[in-house]
Amino acid sequence: MLDTFLWSKDFPLQVCVFNSTSLSDQAHDTHESQLQAATLEYTRVQTLLAALTPHIKRCKLLHFELLYPTSLPPAAFFLQRLPNLKELTLLSGRGIPPPPFVVGFGNPWTIGNPIQPVASRPSLCWLNCLAFDAFTFMCLARAFKGLWSEICYRDRHLRLSIWNYTFRPARRDRSASRFTFEEFIGYLVDAGFGCLSLRNMHIAGPRDISAEPSNHPEPYSSSYTGIRFENVSRELISECLSICDLRQQESFAFRSCDIPPIDDFFGYFLKLENIPRSTDLQGVLKLWQGRQLTIGSSACFNDSLLAWFSDNRRCAQYLDSLFLFDCDSFSMEALKEFIDARTEELGEEDGEDLNDFDEEPCIRELRVQGGGHTLADEDRLWFQQRVKRFSFE
């Protein structure tokens, strides 16, 4: 096993380590059998890490997707010089380890005092993508608290993806392995990031009014840009947006979330998918300054919203591309009225704030797909005459 990586000599390495056992396979296992499985996984990973360590400087990608968080490489492992590492993924299916697991493995993740880097220069010089389950991220952040700038360069366009955590009030859960919501926000600020993706993050109790998770979650991708939330609590979204530079993000995406009102933000691309009926999209779109809006499977996109769009030309005033898929709560008549309002010429007063644009913003592209709508030939012709690029499927 120790010779595993010798064949590659001086070539760059991309190392993926995963456990193919699913959580459902162990749903009815006894505690003892789960502890045995965790021990086996931990032992195998430790053996692999021992073989990898002499070659760690050649790694461009490290991807650990395991069942138990106790098996993931400990924080100190990443204090080695990793000059070529660009992508780091640490995911565990079970999230927070229960107390017997923590005791059994010497609690390698919960670190009482922050550790110091072993080298004065950054260890992760070229890192541009981090993907963690939330428990692992917060354990690393606790270990590296205040030292991120010494470990990796802060001027990189870092993409940070974090999954799976429920924050609970301290009075209900005083476990040392738990983290607070405020602590998490502080760690995000310390880490610094250019792009942020959060998935399945909640605040327990009456404040948690997030939508139900999608039945078809999208696979993990390290290629996202901008800000992305999927199945995240409303309050958590609000706090995360408050620490982001909303004018520097190219895109925003929300999936299966009840979205709070958002202050003035740009985001050329805005995508909303599976947004619950209770969400006030007027509060989301009122100050949005982007150009392309995509809405899918969202009951809150309805005739009332289209009427509001039609009557408030200054809201989402730069919108020129609208893509709708699997939305069944609006009528084609309301959509026609919206297009009519958004393709007519602006008056002098309405256009006074738009002098920076070569052309007056109006709807130039419209796509409608699914949702059970029908379109007569004369209506199709009507849209084609008013919208430069129109498609209906």
Q: What is the pTM of this model?
A: 0.81
Q: Where would I find the beta strands (DSSP E) of the chain?
A: 13-18, 59-66, 87-92, 129-133, 159-167, 195-203, 227-232, 251-255, 269-273, 292-296, 321-325, 365-369, 389-392
- Cα(245)–Cα(267) distance, rounded to whole angstroms? 11
Distance of CA 186 to the CA centre of its chain: 17
Q: How confident is the model at residue 125 (pLDDT cuts 50, 70, 90)?
A: confident
Residues facing 227 on adjacent strands = 196, 252
In degrees and rounded to multiples of 5, residue 330 shows phi and psi of -120, 160
Q: Reduced to 3 states, what is the DSSP secondary structure of residue 168? A: coil
The string of pLDDT tens digits covering residues 78-95 is: 777 788 899 999 998 765
Provide the 3-class DSSP secondary structure of residue 276.
coil
Q: Based on the number of CB atoms within 10 Å of its own CB, is 208 exposed (0-12), middle (13-18) or buried (19 or more)? A: middle
- The reported pLDDT for the residue numbered 207 is 42
Per-residue model confidence as pLDDT tens digits over 217-248: 344 444 456 899 999 999 999 988 888 777 77
Domain boundaries, the chain: 1-126+133-143
Nearest Cα residue to 253 out of 264, 239, 237, 242: 237
